[in-house]
Chains A and B, each alone.
Chain A
Amino acid sequence: MVILEIMRYLPNPLAGEQQHEFLKKLAKEGSVVNIARKLGISRASLYRYVRMRAMTQGFRGNRERRENVATLGEGLVFDRSRGEISLSKPQLLPEDTVALKFAKVLEDSNIDYVLVAGYTAILFGRGRRSDDIDFIIGHIKENDFMRLCEAAHRAGFLLMQGDILLEESIRKLYQKYLAQGYSVRFMYKGLILPNVEVKFARTNPHSYALTHSITVLINNKYMVRISPLELQIAYKLYLGSDKDVGDAIFLYTLFKEAISHDELDAWCEMLRVDCSILEVDK
């Protein structure tokens, strides 16, 4: 929610570029502390936002020049320069609710995260359900995981593999699962499916997705961060099941006017997948 709060605070209305520059300037002048205090958020959250923007900006500056803002359909706008997608939808599905609630817990806990896999396609209108909402998070220590579980419990989540109210159980989960590279599952208010699957970033694509995440603003009210679409499409092709290929085709068709085709080709080459299937049988 940090972005929304910052937007509300900023002198209005600032265009995307100006807004970004304004935040960078503030960060340089050291007035971030004051802004953070006024917003009632941590300095780390504000810095993280500014840093994320600066990184995305720097990376995108090297890409081919293209239109920065693409309106892809009614209620769907992709602003590449800000790394932001704005989406309007009439209602939230259970998948949306679970994802948004958990994303807020992570945002409030200052934990880097990115949403990956099938949910990203469902978020944008793919007509299927998902059993898991997959979150990749930056590495955190055991005590931070304890705090994350406390916050998650306050927000209505329970652990599937252990007892969220027992410190011993949470520590065991951290050591046996997260620290070993396996995922931990959270259930929201008794919902078994969809549930939240959380694991640490362990591979290069995971780390890349974390540092180059795209912010999705839903109905100008909710916010989640998703993996860069080029990586997401190539990765889905790499997984290769009919369902995954369908997700890749869906995201590609929806965003092809807005994504970087060079970047998509690079990921396809790196993952050794044939991306010609994206245009097959047209």
Chain B
Amino acid sequence: MTSDVLIRDLEEERRRNKLDTIRHARWEAEMVKKLGSKWFEVRDKWLMEAFEADRKMWQNSKVREALIRAILARDREIH
């Protein structure tokens, strides 16, 4: 496989990913319009599950410290 072919394939993959993101975001907005609070209930349920999993991780003080260091290091990089 030449690098030209590889790049073309990767770009095609990236284009498809973007289209998927667009379709999904549009679908989410339609759900908010259509279902209202029902949509929020469903969404909140799985977002809260993800949040709780994160929170369990932070209870380890080493993870906590490392996470704070990573956030501040990223800030310094951006600056």
Contact = CB atoms under 8 A, between A and B. Distances in A.
Nearest to B63: A192
B9 interface: no
Looking at B28, B55, B68, the one whose CB has the most chain A CB atoms below 10 A away is B28
Contacts of A191: 55
Contact of A89 (B17, B26, B40, B79): B40
Majority secondary structure, B binding face:
helix
Q: Which 7 A-B pairs have the closest CB atoms?
A: A74-B36, A253-B29, A73-B33, A125-B32, A246-B25, A249-B25, A254-B29
Contacts, number: 106
A68 interface: no
Contacts of B19: 280-281
Interface of A: 72-76, 88-91, 93-94, 124-129, 131, 160-161, 182-183, 185, 190-193, 195, 242-243, 245-247, 249-254, 277, 280-281
Contacts of A76: 32-33, 36
A216 to B, nearest CB: 14
Looking at A76, A190, A192, the one whose CB has the most chain B CB atoms below 10 A away is A192
Range of interface residues on B (Cβ < 8 Å): 35 or more
A282 B52 CA distance: 36
A281 B68 CA distance: 40
Looking at B23, B33, B68, the one whose CB has the most chain A CB atoms below 10 A away is B33
